[in-house]
Chain A
Amino acid sequence: MNAYFISAHDFKPFITRLIEARRVIGPVAKRNRFTFERVTRAEDLRLDYDVTILPPKKIFFPPVQDLVHFEGERYAGCIEAEPQVLLGVHFYDVKAIDMTDQLFREKFADPNYLAAREATTVVASNVQRVSDAAFWGSIGADVAPKGHDAFLTMIETGYVFETRTPKGAALLEFGRFRIAEKSEVAAADRVNAEILEKCPERIDHPAEAVAKRLWEVFGDEALWEKLAEDCFSCGSCNVICPTCYCFDVQDRWNLDQKSGARARSWDACLTQDFAQVSLGAGATENFRESRGERFRHRFMRKGAYLNKKLGGPACVGCGRCSQACTADIASPPKVINKIMGAAR
């Protein structure tokens, strides 16, 4: 890992050259929010964003994606993986990328995800503005982000650019970088450490204690039904989550009735029929029929089930679910802190 420095003055020309040379995706404004989009002009890039509506997982795992195209008996997979630079990913989303990397790699490796992932250079950037639902300062603090190729931190005089991989180092040629001074690297470390204290929300308990408590209250139906009373089963809290990875697969025919596509789209375990399965002969069963059961499932996934496999909770504290939930019941800090205090 090497640390470089680029002055504030040279930064915009760097982005401009990068955009000319590569397909660049970064945070841009959308009405009063932010989204990751293809950036075609340096001035559109908004590294001062707080959080994006959808996490960067959409770059590797799009909301709707064709998997196979068919025509009559012939069919072919359709993996598109254009080389690209994903710029401006906050550290909590980098952690989430590590997790989806692991989940999409295990057992039945997902070639579509992995191809897009391989083709992408991930450049993280420091959080300049904190979203009003963020709690990344207090969750999974001991989980180090490592899915990125370089990390960009804004300090007073410019930007420190720390490269982690050859892919990250390959971007140096587009800007006037020099080796960073020790003091500059120290300033960057300070910026990244100080921001951790700035989250408006927090979970006041270590991940192990939360996981243990979730298992303890698992059977407390009344608690879960109460927590989920206002739930719309809308699935928003799932699909906007950087560590959710469920999808549904359906076929689509073209007008000619011969050709078409097998496509996947993001699915969500909070929706009413997610767990409805066939029992054969036209019969079905829903193994998570009540709102409470589905609500509990998400919290078990984020706080308990995956901890061992991922080395920490499958929640990175982005607060997107808190913001997306119109019923205002999905916030992990609120729910977890309540559960931690709930009578046994």
Chain B
Amino acid sequence: MGKPTVAFFDFACCEGCQIEMTNLGDEAFLELLNHIDIVEFREAMSETTKEPIDIALIEGSFTREADRARLEDIRRRAKVVIAYGQCATTGGINALKNHQKDYKEFVYGHAAGMPHLASDSARPISSVIKVDYNAFGCPVSKYEVLQIISHLVHGKEPVIPDYPVCMECKRRETVCRYHEGDHCLGQVARAGCGAPCPASGIPCEACRGFVSDPNLASLKKVLREEGGLSERRAETKALMFTANETAGRPA
């Protein structure tokens, strides 16, 4: 790929993952623009495109049938589609609602009946179109995204970790949360973030979703026996970012 055209698109999300890229800082971000051609990026520019694009970064979950055509159009125009952020890769935090009934009343109160709030269950982008790569995380890791794009620019296959956060946590010699009477989901969470949360003294919440083969039965046991969580808490603990993975995906 020469200087690739890159576009960001957003669906059901907070757009925090787009913001995360701008957190690279002016200098780094401007340097990046010398090497990629950003043609659509709502958080930072007003231009939009209908042209073919090299790399489409799609942020957010699929929650409305009406969005299908737009997703299919992006897929037709893009050489490479990257599901960008946890909302897009697995449904992320949005998927919590897939297993609740009263969330609208709870969140919006008397405004719950407004028509624009009507939506279906939250699903990953891959439930509608083919996704080539996943940039996991809530929000994404900007450094990982840079490496994914760099690898594509150089015609290499991006390498996305499929081992637990514990590995990265041990590499930086963090005191394990379990050794301080706390709990953690790092044993089933997908690495790639560099394990910042345990290093700051808080549990990993698996914001990048699970590894492809998470041992959830063992997790529940450890949360109960070592982490001191109640049966019910141990059961629901891993749901925050992984409701579609733990409680089953909506049909």
Inter-chain residue pair count (beta carbon < 8 A): 118
Question: B202 at interface (Cβ–Cβ under 8 A)?
Answer: no
Known contacts A255-B146, A327-B187; A54 and B167 CB within 8 A of each other: no
- Give A274 Cβ to nearest chain B Cβ, in Å: 8
Cβ–Cβ contact B171 & A266, under 8 A: yes
Question: A80 at interface (Cβ–Cβ under 8 A)?
Answer: no
Interface flags for B167-183 (1: CB within 8 Å of A; 0: not) read 10011111110111000
Question: A235 at interface (Cβ–Cβ under 8 A)?
Answer: yes
**Bound-complex Cα distance A240 to B153 (A):** 36
**Bound-complex Cα distance A239 to B172 (A):** 11
Known contacts A31-B180, A233-B213; A63 and B172 CB within 8 A of each other: yes
Interface flags for A239-272 (1: CB within 8 Å of B; 0: not) read 1100000000011110111001000011010011
Task: Enumerate chain A residues within 8 angstroms of B159, measured Cβ to Cβ.
Answer: 250
Cβ–Cβ contact B146 & A32, under 8 A: no
Question: B212 at interface (Cβ–Cβ under 8 A)?
Answer: yes
Q: Which among B32, B162, B166, B173 is the interface contact of A54 at CB below 8 angstroms? A: B173
Cβ–Cβ contact A232 & B219, under 8 A: yes
Cβ–Cβ contact A63 & B213, under 8 A: no
Known contacts A255-B31, A272-B212; A230 and B218 CB within 8 A of each other: yes
Question: B222 at interface (Cβ–Cβ under 8 A)?
Answer: yes
Smallest Cβ-Cβ distance to A52: which chain B residue: B173
Question: What is the interface size of chain B, counting residues whose CB is below 8 A from a CB of the partner?
Answer: 43
Task: Enumerate chain A residues within 8 angstroms of B172, measured Cβ to Cβ.
Answer: 63
Cβ–Cβ contact A234 & B150, under 8 A: no
Question: What is the interface size of chain A, counting residues whose CB is below 8 A from a CB of the partner?
Answer: 40
Task: Enumerate chain B residues within 8 angstroms of A232, measured Cβ to Cβ.
Answer: 164, 166, 187-188, 214-215, 218-219
Q: Which among B162, B167, B214 is the interface contact of A236 at CB below 8 angstroms? A: B167
Using a CB-CB cutoff of 8 Å, which residues 190-225 of chain B contact chain A? 211-215, 217-219, 221-222
Question: B156 at interface (Cβ–Cβ under 8 A)?
Answer: yes
Question: A33 at interface (Cβ–Cβ under 8 A)?
Answer: yes
**Bound-complex Cα distance A323 to B35 (A):** 46
Question: B147 at interface (Cβ–Cβ under 8 A)?
Answer: yes
Known contacts A32-B179, A232-B187; A53 and B215 CB within 8 A of each other: no
| List of 9 A-B pairs having minimum Cβ-Cβ separation, nearest first | A63-B171, A253-B150, A232-B187, A234-B166, A230-B218, A271-B163, A234-B164, A257-B35, A255-B31
